[in-house]
Chains A and B, each alone.
Chain A
Amino acid sequence: DAKTTQPPSMDCAEGRAANLPCNHSTISGNEYVYWYRQIHSQGPQYIIHGLKNNETNEMASLIITEDRKSSTLILPHATLRDTAVYYCIVRVVIQGAQKLVFGQGTRLTINP
């Protein structure tokens, strides 16, 4: 079972920052938080990942709370092409093998 919960849908105006929340209250100390997105009928696209510290790359920023029970993905200047389903995933390790177990994700719609 997925270890994350996300709102099913969100809307954001083009050009504004999109802030996508994720709860992962049962995360363990060595489990990473990943974010992927999936545009219709395509494979998931990697966005960013983090363990404890906030992370930033060319696509987004990831803010992880100090207790690591939740995180927020920030798309600083959303465009229409950012419309997609965004998945927040905790990478679990079972018997030495890593797995990404997807939850239901957040369907983000960027409006013009």
Chain B
Amino acid sequence: GAVVSQHPSWVICKSGTSVKIECRSLDFQATTMFWYRQFPKQSLMLMATSNEGSKATYEQGVEKDKFLINHASLTLSTLTVTSAHPEDSSFYICSATSGGLRRVEQYFGPGTRLTVT
């Protein structure tokens, strides 16, 4: 199957700082990428959907000024958590798909564990 990578795999940062997480599709062009977050023992929650070259669409309740998403190329999307607080500590997972609605495959990255101290 297609490969999606994330970097870093884990990060620890101090309150008030910003953290950038990268998501890359390694062997296909990802026209659409998705960002999820997952708290311990909970399911994945969709945060936003980004299409290459356009602004991300955020789910209800997700602060777009806090979680900045950039999808500048067909193989890279970034999520920046700005002014991080301890409650932002979570497992962040991206996924990617190529093509439009006809393409049904959606592949997930390995996740990035963020700890804010």
Which chain A residues have a beta carbon within 8 Å of chain B's beta carbons?
Answer: 32, 34, 36, 38, 41-46, 49, 87, 91, 93, 96-105
User: When A49-B104, A100-B34 are in contact, do A44 and B44 touch as well, CB less than 8 Å?
Assistant: yes
30 contacts between A and B (CB under 8 A): A32-B104, A34-B106, A36-B108, A41-B111, A42-B111, A43-B6, A43-B95, A43-B108, A44-B93, A44-B95, A44-B108, A46-B1, A46-B106, A46-B108, A49-B104, A49-B105, A93-B101, A96-B101, A98-B32, A98-B97, A98-B101, A99-B34, A100-B34, A101-B46, A102-B36, A102-B44, A102-B45, A102-B46, A103-B43, A104-B43
Q: Do residues B107 and A46 form an inter-chain contact, with CB atoms below 8 A?
A: yes
Which chain B residues have a beta carbon within 8 Å of chain A's beta carbons?
Answer: 1, 4, 6, 32, 34, 36, 43-46, 49, 57, 91, 93, 95, 97, 101, 104-111, 113
Contacts of A41 in B (CB 8 A): 91, 111, 113
**Distance in Å: Cβ of A91 to nearest Cβ of chain B:** 7
Q: Do residues A97 and B32 form an inter-chain contact, with CB atoms below 8 A?
A: yes
Determine the main DSSP class of B at the interface with A: strand
**Partner pick for B43 among A32, A46, A105, CB 8 A cutoff:** A105
**Distance in Å: Cβ of B91 to nearest Cβ of chain A:** 7
**Distance in Å: Cβ of B44 to nearest Cβ of chain A:** 4
Q: A43-B4, A98-B97, A102-B36 are in contact. List 6 more A-B contacts (CB 8 A).
A: A36-B108, A44-B95, A44-B108, A98-B32, A99-B34, A100-B34
**Partner pick for A102 among B1, B43, B109, CB 8 A cutoff:** B43
**Distance in Å: Cβ of B101 to nearest Cβ of chain A:** 6
Q: Do residues B57 and A97 form an inter-chain contact, with CB atoms below 8 A?
A: yes
Contacts of B34 in A (CB 8 A): 99-100
**Partner pick for A100 among B46, B91, B110, CB 8 A cutoff:** B46
**Partner pick for B106 among A38, A100, A104, CB 8 A cutoff:** A100
Docked CA distance A87–B36 (Å): 15
Residue of B nearest to A104 (CB): B43
Contacts of A100 in B (CB 8 A): 34, 46, 95, 106
